[in-house]
Chains A and B, each alone.
Chain A
Amino acid sequence: MSYSLTYFMIASFTIGAIIGFIGYSSRFCTMAGIRNLILLRHKEMFTGIIGILVGGLIGFSTLSFINPTVFQNFPIFLKTKLFTKISKILLIFIGSLGLGIISTYVDGCPFRMHVKAGSGNLDSVIYLIGFYIGIIYFILFLEEIVISIFSF
């Protein structure tokens, strides 16, 4: 690896700060976009998701057009075999189903909860404490159980 630890810390912090600033100014939330579309038929928040898809597609395809070696497997569906592991698809489905349910109950996707915590909402600060403790708990105790169950 050619970069140092401090470089990655500063780089990721800067990117996060920019995203957080824009995220607060636009009230961007993936959950609210889909929820407003289903519940109220409001399309404005949902355009944020379309924006992320369009922006990512433009950015990734332009950069890989300029220099094909930047992203080793840019269109993943052309470079690698997909849909071979059923267990991976099942894990993706279960995980995102749970994320959708919980995000609707707490009124914000994990990204939005970080933004809310920054703007002074103490409820989401409690959520974040649970979030980080949950991550540590999963790493130490649950990861091996999940892997052993879904090892087919």
Chain B
Amino acid sequence: MKVKPFYAGLIFGLIFAFSQAFLGYTWKDAYAYCTIGHSRDLMLWLTSVFTRYKISEYILPFLSTFGVISGSFIASKVYREFHVVKIEKSNLFTMFALGFASAVFGLIATFCPVRLFVLLSFGDLEVLFGVIGYMLGIFLAIKLMRR
């Protein structure tokens, strides 16, 4: 680890707050970065381009998830740790299905785990149920995997 997780989290929180203030993300609370919300907006925007799907004016082509991918690519090249990990063939369908399911659950909750904690720091106490649910989910999955 080149950066300690505490400092990474601190920088994340500050970046989210300042970019929310200065870049004009005003229509939603704590919406500077959200893995699920931003990719949903991008996909909605794309579907509205290719079909006659109607959208509101606040749906914009956010590229932050692709920014994350390219940022981590640059980092792994800078640290010379980039290597391709090949897929096990038995894993292929499970990973696809789990990705599909995580998108569905994320859209039901309307936030990704990162935005969950940013929303909590923004003062949204309803999200406490989300924190409880997230911890309970991890606990249940550990119990199921240990069997």
C-alpha spacing A5/B19, complex, angstroms: 16
Chain A residues near B9 (CB, 8 Å)?
A: 28, 47-55
Q: Which of B47, B73, B108 has the most CB of A within 10 A?
A: B108
Chain B window 87-130, contacts with chain A (Cβ cutoff 8 Å), 1 for yes, 0 for no? 11001100111111111111111101110111011111111011
A135 and B103 contacting across the interface, CB-CB below 8 Å: yes
B95 and A115 contacting across the interface, CB-CB below 8 Å: no
**How far apart are B88's CB and chain A's nearest CB, in angstroms?**
8
A109 and B113 contacting across the interface, CB-CB below 8 Å: yes
C-alpha spacing A68/B86, complex, angstroms: 51
| Contact A50:B109 (CB < 8 A) given known A9-B63, A96-B133, A129-B99 | no
C-alpha spacing A70/B21, complex, angstroms: 6
Give the total of B residues in contact with A, Cβ under 8 Å. Answer: 110
C-alpha spacing A115/B114, complex, angstroms: 13
| Contact A92:B2 (CB < 8 A) given known A18-B71, A78-B123, A118-B69 | no
Q: Which of A8, A19, A44 contacts B71 (CB 8 A)?
A: A19
C-alpha spacing A2/B138, complex, angstroms: 42
Q: How many Cβ-Cβ contacts under 8 Å join chain A to chain B?
A: 431
A82 and B100 contacting across the interface, CB-CB below 8 Å: no
A31 and B113 contacting across the interface, CB-CB below 8 Å: yes
C-alpha spacing A130/B82, complex, angstroms: 23
**How far apart are A72's CB and chain B's nearest CB, in angstroms?**
7
Which residues on A are within 8 Å of B, measured CB to CB? Answer: 1-3, 5, 8-9, 11-28, 30-31, 33-35, 38-39, 44-45, 47-60, 62-63, 70-78, 82-83, 88-89, 91-106, 109-111, 113-124, 126-140, 142-143, 146
- 20 A-B residue pairs with Cβ-Cβ distance under 8 Å, sorted by A, are A11-B19, A13-B66, A19-B33, A21-B74, A22-B11, A50-B6, A54-B9, A55-B12, A60-B122, A77-B125, A88-B126, A91-B110, A100-B135, A106-B102, A114-B68, A117-B69, A118-B73, A119-B76, A126-B96, A130-B96
